[in-house]
């Protein structure tokens, strides 16, 4: 039986069967007869808590929990030190056990993917990198990278990232932009393959729910955002825009998710007099419940700040799987082109209340276009976002090497 190691610190290990890319992949490879070990962190990035070692018993494949001390803030020295400890402990763990036939590593973190790649190169093992985020570039949404001193301080990390990318035999990325970031000078890698995070369309099509659990008035128009509430996401602009269209009582903004900016955003909505009037904060929601909410929604909000490097995200996969028209503020060209070329919805300017307000009113006034956007979203999901089909390229590439 061929041995596959998946190194993925951010696998949301507490939630069995969650939509996490690496849990899904580990389970699929296990079901196809491979001996899979998932190396992941015992610290939950989203909840900022540690998990019990008992969780590993709930998985059909092997799970190795690697300890790291954890952190309170996503952008902090403490987080960098925590990730370094994860890498150090990962190194100790993998040196104790029999080597695999292939190593598949999530990037980030930089330390863990470097440890995995170095081990692979030293032992002549095929090494695949899967880029989820482009560290250190993605920190530009939280740090002013226009300052020369910041760019100077970032350069060693950029150099280190390039060193990691050069170790890969194949690179996957959650978008074309991310995959091509690894195409650096000096690499021997010839394949840079985008595979969207995607979703399981069967869950969207077969979800069961009680109609009374999530009530929606027949006249209401639901615009829904799902995901983290933090510096990368332009939710403040959305709240302010809804204050300006508050006279349209039937247009509702549903915000599903939590994060460090949640209290600040709730305070803003209360100050504007629209909290639980036209803007609703639902907090964290089970994935199945979130699917129901999306399926009852009319429009999806892909709200990213101007500095965000987010491209084809989890939320975008869920939006198109639910067949929703999209209001998009991502400034990444790949996303703008996708919305325009596939006719999925309307792009607007992040941070610009009038731009979002006008986009909302323009969309809801054109019912035929909304139907077109909805149809195109679902067709796109069926072609590129259904994991059952889209992840075949990953599985096939792993089989090719082993």
Distance CA(24)–CA(28), nearest Å, equals 6
**191-229: pLDDT as tens digits:** 999 999 999 999 999 887 665 578 888 899 999 999 999
CATH number of 201-385: 3.40.50.2000
**235-258: pLDDT as tens digits:** 999 999 999 997 777 999 999 999
Distance CA(330)–CA(303), nearest Å, equals 7
H or E stretch including 107? Answer: strand 102-107
- To which residue do tokens 């909840």 refer? 47
**35-78: pLDDT as tens digits:** 999 999 999 987 889 999 999 999 999 999 999 999 998 878 99
Superfamily holding 3-198+386-401? Glycogen Phosphorylase B; (3.40.50.2000)
Kindly state the average pLDDT of the residues 93-106: 97
pLDDT tier at 14, thresholds 50, 70, 90: confident
Q: With a cut of 90, say whether residue 275 has pLDDT above it.
A: yes
**Count of C-beta atoms within a 10 Å radius of residue 326:** 26
The predicted structure's pLDDT at residue 211: 55
pLDDT tier at 144, thresholds 50, 70, 90: low
The predicted structure's pLDDT at residue 18: 61
The predicted structure's pLDDT at residue 76: 85
Q: With a cut of 70, say whether residue 142 has pLDDT above it.
A: no
pLDDT tier at 16, thresholds 50, 70, 90: low
Higher-confidence residue of 290 and 155: namely 290
| DSSP-assigned letters across all residues of 339-395 | HHHTT-EEE--TT-HHHHHHHHHHHHH-HHHHHHHHHHHHHHIIIIIBHHHHTHHHH
Distance CA(396)–CA(268), nearest Å, equals 49
- To which residue do tokens 């796109």 refer? 380
Distance CA(44)–CA(9), nearest Å, equals 9
Q: Look at residue 148 and give its three-state secondary structure.
A: helix
**327-355: pLDDT as tens digits:** 999 999 999 999 999 999 999 999 999 99
- To which residue do tokens 């128009």 refer? 221
**Mean pLDDT, the chain, as a whole number?**
93
Distance CA(226)–CA(290), nearest Å, equals 8
Name the token pair of 329: 């503020």
The predicted structure's pLDDT at residue 145: 55
Q: Are strands 49-50 and 62-66 parallel, antiparallel or unpaired?
A: unpaired
Distance CA(358)–CA(360), nearest Å, equals 5
Higher-confidence residue of 75 and 285: namely 285
Where does the chain hold its CATH 3.40.50.2000 domain(s)? 3-198+386-401, 201-385
């Amino acid at each position: 039986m061929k041995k596959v190691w998946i190194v993925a610190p951010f696998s949301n290990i507490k939630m069995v069967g969650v939509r996490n890319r690496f849990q899904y992949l580990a389970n699929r490879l296990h079901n196809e007869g491979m001996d899979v070990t998932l190396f992941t962190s015992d610290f939950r990035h989203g909840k900022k808590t540690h998990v019990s070692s008992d969780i590993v018993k709930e998985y059909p494949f092997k799970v190795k929990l690697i300890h790291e001390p954890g952190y309170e803030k996503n952008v902090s020295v403490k987080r960098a030190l925590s990730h370094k400890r994860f890498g150090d402990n990962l190194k100790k763990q993998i040196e104790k056990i029999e080597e695999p036939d292939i190593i598949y590593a999530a990037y980030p973190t930089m330390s863990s993917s470097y440890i995995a790649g170095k081990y692979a190169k030293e032992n002549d093992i095929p090494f695949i990198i899967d880029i989820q985020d482009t560290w250190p570039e993605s920190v530009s949404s939280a740090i002013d990278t226009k300052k020369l001193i910041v760019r100077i301080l970032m350069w060693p990390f950029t150099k280190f990232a390039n060193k990691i990318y050069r170790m890969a035999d194949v690179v996957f990325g959650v978008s074309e932009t991310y995959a091509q970031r690894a195409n650096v000078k000096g690499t021997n890698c010839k394949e840079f393959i985008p595979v969207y995070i995607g979703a399981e369309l069967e869950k969207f099509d077969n979800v069961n729910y009680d109609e009374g659990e999530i009530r929606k008035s027949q006249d209401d128009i639901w615009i829904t955002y799902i995901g983290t509430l933090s510096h990368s996401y332009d939710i403040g602009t959305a709240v302010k825009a809804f204050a300006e269209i508050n006279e349209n009582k039937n247009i509702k903004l549903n915000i599903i998710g939590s994060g460090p900016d949640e209290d600040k955003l709730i305070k803003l909505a209360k100050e504007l007099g629209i909290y639980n009037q036209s803007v609703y904060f639902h907090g964290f929601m089970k994935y199945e419940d979130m699917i129901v909410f999306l399926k009852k929604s009319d429009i999806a909000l892909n709200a990213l700040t101007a500095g965000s490097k987010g491209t084809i995200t989890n939320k975008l996969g869920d939006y198109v799987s639910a067949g929703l028209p999209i209001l998009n503020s991502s400034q990444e060209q790949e996303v703008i082109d996708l919305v325009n070329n596939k006719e999925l919805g309307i792009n607007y300017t992040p941070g610009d209340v009038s731009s979002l307000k006008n986009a909302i009113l323009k969309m809801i006034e054109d019912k035929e276009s909304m139907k077109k956007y909805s149809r195109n979203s679902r067709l796109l999901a069926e072609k590129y976002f259904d994991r059952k089909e889209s992840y075949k390229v990953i599985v096939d590439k792993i089989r090719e090497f082993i």
